[in-house]
Structure 1
Amino acid sequence: MSVPISVVSEETGIAKEVLRKWEDRYGFPVPGRDAADKRVYSGAQVARLKLIKALLDAGMRPGAVVPLDEAQLQALLAMNRPPVQAGAGDGRLVEVLRAKEPNRLREHLHAELARLGLEGFVLDLLPGLNKQVGDAWAEGSIAVHEEHLYTEMVQALLREAVQAVYAPLGWPRVLLTTVPGELHMLGNLMVEAVLTLAGARCISLGTQSPLQDIVAAAEAYQTQVVGLSFSAALPRKTIAPILRELRQRLPGEVQLWAGGAGVAGLEKVPRGVRIFQGLHEARAAIREFKPRRD
């Protein structure tokens, strides 16, 4: 059974533009064509793309993994998978997902949030849970719809929790979004939660904002910081040029921050761009701002 590129992108988390670039650059994936001459992909290619995505999320570069066959990818994934640490959900979350009981999943997440508080939930628990779910998805032990269910529930929970602590007069004002081709929203919501708790006023544009819209929004909302999240799904060599162009377009007094697996280990960081390796660093950076003077 063949599936269209839009479905492949949704199931794997890899942007359609990235799939086309890989086709040209690495010779994979190699799509067929339907009656309307649109790209379609086999189930085997989708499975291989899921493995590639798991390795990219672990920090590997597309050029090192996209050309590999499925057996090589499986072996590499096994080598790079750290042992699951106790206290990161103890595997119960995956069991709840497999049980296919959405109410249990919602109750489990709410209970963890109540137990840890929003900051502990985001900083100490969610990274481990996200890793468990990602590994289970890559291994095929949970279905794509189960991974999507988890992501949507966590996002809804974070939006509700952030709204409860939202400070209209928070400082500094931080504009959060992703660039075109970057579909992942969960990372931005985690950042929003941590920065809001640190006293910032976060303004979220969602995902895939054109650069000109980011610049316009930063001016319209008079933000002091623009924060971008990059997953490993974007080709790493495109990230620095994007950051460089945006830095040139933004006013000099507006700080440009970037974080996520996509910028981890970035070889050349454009001047005037601040890279964060984790949420703790971003929280500390917010506290560096002097109190607002009206």
Structure 2
Amino acid sequence: MITIQQLSQELGIGVDTLRVWERRFGFPTPERNTRGHRLYPPAQIDDLRIIKKLQNLGHRPKQLFALTAAERRALLNQQHVDDRHHDLQQLVTTVAAAQLDKELRTQLQQRGIEAFILEFAVPLLEVMDRGWLTGKLSIAREHLLSDCLATILKEQLVPRAYGPRIVFTTLSGERHKLGLLLSAVLFHQQGCDCHLVMEELPVAEVLSIVDFFAADAVALSFSIQIAPRQAKRDLAWLRKGLPSHIKMIAGGFALRNGMHLPGISVCTDLGQISSLCAREFPDLNLQKPTG
């Protein structure tokens, strides 16, 4: 048996979320030790892992908790990769490791960076997620693909002498950073001077890092493993702590339900970054050198 903190770390489900599920849906049903602390048996851990995988595929908790454990497992087994992504599935599962970098760079050269991200990298990550969730993609293979993609994307972030300076970072507990990297490259393409901080930061440290870079804005990403309530609380705290002239941009799966946060631009669609830049940085084109 494991504690609620250990369960949260292993599955990437917030402690608050686990407690809400227990209260609202009657699952999980942990045992208690002599001190009254929650302990989770292996069967419930496996079932929660399936619930998390199905949630990543777009299923809502209310729907999932209405099913039995056997029905949830059967539902997961029914998930298939979209036929439109057949070529990407081949890349994810069969292309030799030595050829992955070459294939990704060929796609970048043929498409250009913006189309590479929106039309290739985003679907690629979706295929990788599904492969991992259904057990068709090993953790080692996933890390290899992610590292190849991240290396190529980071090469695009050449410092600029002009444009609004944006710091991109994640908060403690956020393990998924590729989405943040994708958005940083797209902001860079719009003419922003983007600085990526890949290490997770405590909320209070974001204030210091913004000051260190003399940033005009800070962008944060919140994946599905972060509870929306926690994301909203952290963003509100940061907004209150940052000077009013520092813009805040937030995105990620945890904010997908249209969360409204005063003084913060929420963007959960990478395709909307160009319009966001036009709105938040109207003088951006005027700052670019003319040749």
TM-score, normalised via structure 1 length: 0.78
* Alpha-carbon offset, residue 111 of structure 1: 2.1
**Candidates 140, 143, 154, aligned match of 1:145:** 140
Query: Would the alpha carbon gap of residues 276 and 103 (structure 1) be closer, same or farther in structure 2, given more than 3 Å must change?
Result: same
Query: Would the alpha carbon gap of residues 169 and 48 (structure 1) be closer, same or farther in structure 2, given more than 3 Å must change?
Result: farther
**What amino acid maps onto 1:106 in structure 2?**
D
Query: Which residue does the alignment assign to 2:262?
Result: 271
Superimposed CA distance per residue, residues 105-155 of structure 1 (whole angstroms, 9 cap, x where no aligned partner)? 233222222222222111111111111111111111122222222222211
**Candidates 203, 223, 231, aligned match of 1:211:** 203
Query: Which residue does the alignment assign to 1:262?
Result: 254
Instruction: Please list every run of at least 4 consecutive aligned residues from structure 1 whose deviation after the TM superposition is greater than 6 angstroms.
Output: 2-11
Contact persistence 1:23–1:30 (CA under 8 A): no
TM-score, normalised via structure 2 length: 0.79
Query: Would the alpha carbon gap of residues 246 and 127 (structure 1) be closer, same or farther in structure 2, given more than 3 Å must change?
Result: same
What number of residue pairs does the alignment pair up?
277
Q: Percent identity?
A: 23
Query: Which residue does the alignment assign to 1:201?
Result: 193
**What amino acid maps onto 1:274 in structure 2?**
S
- For 1:59 and 1:90, the matched residues in 2 are separated by 20
Query: Which residue does the alignment assign to 1:105?
Result: 100
Q: Which runs of 5+ in 2 are unaligned?
A: 34-38
Superimposed CA distance per residue, residues 42-101 of structure 1 (whole angstroms, 9 cap, x where no aligned partner)? 4x666544433333334555566479654333455578x68625367443223326xxx3
- For 1:228 and 1:45, the matched residues in 2 are separated by 32
Given the alignment of the two structures, is residue 248 of structure 1 paired with residue 244 of structure 2, yes or no?
no
Contact persistence 2:50–2:73 (CA under 8 A): yes
Query: Would the alpha carbon gap of residues 115 and 232 (structure 1) be closer, same or farther in structure 2, given more than 3 Å must change?
Result: same
Query: Which residue does the alignment assign to 1:136?
Result: 131
Query: Which residue does the alignment assign to 2:92?
Result: 94
Query: Would the alpha carbon gap of residues 105 and 237 (structure 1) be closer, same or farther in structure 2, given more than 3 Å must change?
Result: same
Given the alignment of the two structures, is residue 84 of structure 1 paired with residue 82 of structure 2, yes or no?
yes
Query: Which residue does the alignment assign to 2:172?
Result: 180
- For 1:229 and 1:207, the matched residues in 2 are separated by 13
Query: Which residue does the alignment assign to 1:283?
Result: 274
How do residues 225-244 of structure 1 correspond to structure 2 at under 5 angstroms? Answer: 225-244=217-236
DSSP 3-state at the match of 1:208? strand
- For 2:274 and 2:266, the matched residues in 1 are separated by 13
**What amino acid maps onto 1:134 in structure 2?**
D
Q: Which runs of 5+ in 1 are unaligned?
A: 34-38
Query: Would the alpha carbon gap of residues 67 and 202 (structure 1) be closer, same or farther in structure 2, given more than 3 Å must change?
Result: farther
Superimposed CA distance per residue, residues 191-233 of structure 1 (whole angstroms, 9 cap, x where no aligned partner)? 1111111111111221421122111121222212111111111
Contact persistence 1:122–1:190 (CA under 8 A): yes
- For 2:257 and 2:75, the matched residues in 1 are separated by 19
What is the RMSD of the two structures over their aligned residues, measured on CA atoms?
Answer: 3.5
- For 1:264 and 1:24, the matched residues in 2 are separated by 19
- For 1:96 and 1:82, the matched residues in 2 are separated by 17
Query: Would the alpha carbon gap of residues 157 and 6 (structure 1) be closer, same or farther in structure 2, given more than 3 Å must change?
Result: farther
Given the alignment of the two structures, is residue 162 of structure 1 paired with residue 156 of structure 2, yes or no?
yes
- For 1:143 and 1:45, the matched residues in 2 are separated by 23
**What amino acid maps onto 1:277 in structure 2?**
T
Which has the larger Rg? 2
* Alpha-carbon offset, residue 30 of structure 1: 5.5
